[in-house]
Amino acid sequence: MPILALALALTLALVAPMASAQEAELTPEQVEYLIWAKGVWDSLDRQHGRIDLPGVPATLDVPEDFYYLKPADATKVLTEVWGNPPNNAEGLLGMLFPAEATPFDPGSWAVTIAYDEDGYVSDADAKDIDYDVLLAEMREATQAANEQRAAAGYAPIALIGWAAKPFYDQASHKLHWAREVKFGDQPEHTLNYGIRVLGRQGVLVLNFVANMDQKDLIDGELHKVLAMAEFKPGSRYADYTPGMDKVAAYGIGGLIAGKVVAKAGLFAAALIFLKKFGVLIVLGLGALVAKLRRKAT
């Protein structure tokens, strides 16, 4: 099979079943990328149903309109496909994607999953937090962290502001909020939408990775993702035993900020993943995929 036809076949299998080979103009670099992308896509173990998160006393109940990627596959997507620093993916428990999307789609979004076993997080401060003051502290910490990012060769991060102010559900012990983030000189801002599920020994950390223009879409899917994650009996927030269980050095404010250094009283920059930084943009394949989709209609 000629390489152009092979590349198109791979593209069609991934994104556009009805496109025409003659209408796709691919460079050798794009052909190489598409072959690689199809290999990555075929290697991903996409799972549904009840998922026991590895090494954590918690589960996901993943419906058919989503799929879960195990830690190794999630790391592959975040680092190899989306170009995040490898150390950012350490401790990752997996990712969630909407069933109709691949990591290569220009409009794709996802949810990363992790766990912080820092102890029981008291929610006593939830009603007293000044979120405007907290935002200012987070901006300063994010700016300070940019020196390390620059030294590692990555673009700086700017925290623009709240896209949705934090909300804590006292009954379910689940917290969520959204931040607007800018990476380097990119004109399109990133939506950093966070969910935290409080447990007896720690917190489940779920972060949406999406663009700002997808906020309405994420708002519509938020309730589904909130409902998926639960701690197992014995490890739930209500199972906390005072005087026996470890207590975290921070409260709700520290969760929102990312981490808190107890001795210094300073907030550290929260972990933020960048979506689609790398060959997808460099080669213009977002436009290529869009073109192929148009040809298919």
82, 277 contact by CB (below 8 A): yes
Arithmetic mean of pLDDT, 191-210:
93
* Same structural domain, 124 and 245: yes
Q: What pLDDT, on the 0 to 100 scale, is given for residue 274?
A: 59
Tell me, what CATH number does 146's domain have?
3.40.1000.10
* Same structural domain, 188 and 72: yes
Give me the domain span that covers residue 173: 49-100+109-274
Q: What pLDDT, on the 0 to 100 scale, is given for residue 224?
A: 96
* Same structural domain, 199 and 287: no
Q: Confidence band (pLDDT; 50, 70, 90) for 269?
A: very low
* Same structural domain, 34 and 71: no
Q: Confidence band (pLDDT; 50, 70, 90) for 291?
A: very low
Residue 38 confidence (pLDDT) above 70 = yes
- 150-199 residue pLDDT tens: 888 878 888 999 999 999 999 999 999 999 988 888 888 888 889 999 99
* Same structural domain, 75 and 89: yes
Mean pLDDT of the residues in the chain: 81
Query: What are the Cα distances from residue 124, in Å, to 127, 173, 259, 293?
Result: 7, 12, 17, 51
* Same structural domain, 237 and 173: yes
- 10-22 residue pLDDT tens: 454 554 433 443 4
Residue 219 confidence (pLDDT) above 70 = yes
Q: What pLDDT, on the 0 to 100 scale, is given for residue 46?
A: 97
Total tally of structural domains belonging to the chain? 2
* Same structural domain, 19 and 75: no
* Same structural domain, 17 and 64: no
* Same structural domain, 86 and 141: yes
Bin 278: left if φ > 0, else alpha if -120 < ψ < 50, else beta.
Answer: left
Please state, for a pLDDT cut of 70, what percent of the chain lies above it. 79
pTM above 0.85, yes or no: no
* Same structural domain, 135 and 264: yes
* Same structural domain, 201 and 133: yes
Query: Per mean pLDDT, which of 45-59, 101-115, 207-221, 259-273 is the most reliable?
Result: 45-59
* Same structural domain, 176 and 193: yes
